[in-house]
Amino acid sequence: PDGANGWYIGGSFTTVGGVSRPYAARILANGSLDTNWLPQPNGQVYDLIVDTDRIYLSGDFTTITGVSANRLVAVDKNSGAIVSNIFNVNNSVYSITKLGANLALGGLFSSVGSFKSTSLARVSKSSGAYDASFLTGTGVNKVLSANNGGYYVGGSGTYGGKAYLAHILSSGAVDSSFTANLNATVNDLALDTSTTPPTLFAGGNFTTVNSVARYYLVALDGSSGADLNKDLRVSSTVSGLALNNANLYVGGPFTQAGASIQRTGGSIAATADATISAYPLINGPVYSSIADGAGGWYIGGSFTKITDSTNTYTRSNMARISANGTVDATFNPTPNNTVTALLLHADGLYLGGSFTTVGGVSRGYMARVDAASGSLDTAFVNPALNSTVYSFATTNSASSADVFVGGGFTTSSGISRPYLAKFSSLGVLAAWNPAPNAIIYSIARGPGTKLFVAGNFSNVSGVALRNFAALDIGDGSRDPNFSSGITAGTVYSMLYDPSDGTLALAGGFTRTSHNGIAVYSTTASS
């Protein structure tokens, strides 16, 4: 945070909103790019911290705005111009933290200035002077202030006899009373000072702490290193941690978090007292979810079992979770393959995906089931599509209506309907046929008679259009007044907000600005 509800950001990016901003940028409180802050490092930024009138950056860079600044620099908060470039580190600096009048550095370096210093160092903020009495180590991934003049060190090495994680006192001595005994690398640390003693969160590659199973994430007593016995396990490596008010944000390539929560996005939020709701446990990925209108959720994906607080249920790719987190024992549609799309309507619950049967009855990639029991609704006839369904939309969300379907299919009951089709509430294929020339990944109802469609096509309704179009729900014609400006790349997801008429797109696309994500007004061209 920049102290004004905006952010300073660093990384491996080279543009922000289509504007050149190599490796570092400032985002203002309104979400716009600060055009005045322009440090222009020539290499990746791994860490940055705010300090009164300046920002310290660390990373792999060797220049700032073309001026020598080896891997650690202080720049002006408002302009990004160099304030101090006296530090001269000879290799990557992954982490920096303030220790009073000093900075603690961690990384891959072997010297700071003219002094040898392996992976860990302390330097004066004002003079850049190297503290030769400061502990050194190898493979430092994170240095974190302990808010008492001391600091924590985490990484792949040993620090004063403490493997992977150590607490260093303000005197520079290793805190012998702090013992965590992790069995593998620590990648990141976060300290919650709202508790007494403070809670230290550690994330990394470890699987035990003090000989107790703790998978990749743990909450420790910040004074002693004792395990706080909070089951924060995740299914794979934790690469990043961040505390924000009452939330701990965790990043990494995992797919499960908590004692048994399934997550598919690689990040979770936990309260700072280290409690995460434990259930349900899902043994495979969830690709689609939708509220059931009663505080619970329908979920679809590629899984076979779900465990709640009392039982384990066999559930083939589809389930309903009640508001209290338990599995609905009566709801069990049993599609025979992956579910990727869901739509709840007054007519029932529509399922789309890669399945060919539901409840043992033939249904080609799309079906409607009873929203309460999950039993197949035979009033909606088999659409007999020939490939996967990725998205749904309807003409009317309050009563019986036509349903629009987007996906990888090209026929319905042998009739040509490439990638996009419209069915009546009884499953009868409509004559409506915009015929995009490639896969539709997302569709959404817009204002009036608009239907927004997105994917990786280059032509729809006979018009050359790149991966996004606004179509008429009646005749399928393209609305010429709405242009996305996309020049290349796929759109995978859309969200339309009828309250303010905005439409958000996300994917791997490029346009004149806002690569990968863009927000439009649907009342005018963009």
Higher pLDDT, 240 or 229: 229
Report the mean per-residue pLDDT for the chain: 85
Classify 328 as helix, strand or coil: coil
Which run of H or of E encompasses 369? strand 366-369
Burial label for 414, CB within 10 Å (0-12, 13-18, 19+), is exposed
pLDDT value for 235: 77
Question: pLDDT tens across 245-278, in order?
Answer: 667 777 777 666 654 333 333 334 444 444 444 4
How many other CB atoms sit within 10 Å of the CB of residue 466? Answer: 22
Q: Which residue has the higher pLDDT, 78 or 481?
A: 78
**Residue 143, phi then psi, degrees to nearest 5:** -120, 125
480's CB contacts (< 8 A; 6+ apart) are none
d(CA 310, CA 350): 29
pLDDT for position 59? 93
Q: How confident is the model at residue 22 (pLDDT cuts 50, 70, 90)?
A: very high
Torsion of CA 332, 288, 392, 365, to 10 degrees: -50
Dihedral, 283, 286, 289, 295 alpha carbons, nearest 10: 30
Compare 301 and 132 and report the one with higher pLDDT. Answer: 301
Residue listed under structure tokens 């304030």: 83
Reduced to 3 states (helix: H, G, I; strand: E, B; else coil), residue 526 is coil
Whether the ω angle into residue 41 lies within 30 degrees of 0, i.e. cis, is no
pLDDT digits (tens, 9 = 90+) for 413-449: 999 999 999 999 999 999 999 999 999 999 999 888 8
Domain with CATH 2.130.10.10 in the chain: 281-521
Rounded mean pLDDT of 53-75? Answer: 93
Q: Is the pLDDT of residue 12 over 80?
A: yes
SS3 of residue 440 by DSSP: strand
Residue 262: predicted pLDDT: 36
> Which of 114-128, 175-189, 259-273, 375-389 is predicted least confidently?
259-273
Q: What is the pLDDT of residue 38?
A: 94
Residue 230: the pLDDT is 81
pLDDT, residue 270, reads 43
Instruction: Grade residue 17 by pLDDT with cuts at 50, 70 and 90.
Output: confident
Interacting residues of 427 by C-beta distance below 8 A, sequence separation 6+: 368, 379, 380, 381, 382, 383
Confidence of residue 149 (pLDDT cuts 50, 70, 90): low
pLDDT of residue 515: 62
Q: What distance in Å separates the CA atoms of residue 323 and residue 22, rounded to the nearest whole number? A: 46
Per CATH, domain 281-521 is 3.90.1150.10: no
Q: What is the pLDDT of residue 103?
A: 86
> Percent of the chain scored above 90 by pLDDT?
44
231 three-class SS? coil
Q: How many CB atoms lie within 10 A of CB 224?
A: 14
- Asked if the model's pLDDT at residue 516 lies above 70, the reply is no
Report whether 160 contacts 189 (CB < 8 A). no
* Res 268: pLDDT: 41
Can you tell me whether residue 333 is helix, strand or coil? coil
Give SS3 for 478: strand
Per DSSP, the residues of 263-327 read -SSSEEEEETT-------EESS-EEEEEE-SSS-EEEEES-SEEE-SS-EEE-SSEEEE-TTS-B
pLDDT per residue as tens digits for the range 28-43 = 888 788 999 999 999 9
CA distance 526 to 523: 9
DSSP-derived 3-state class of residue 133: coil
Q: What percent of the chain has pLDDT over 70?
A: 89
What is the mean predicted confidence (pLDDT) over 268-293?
65
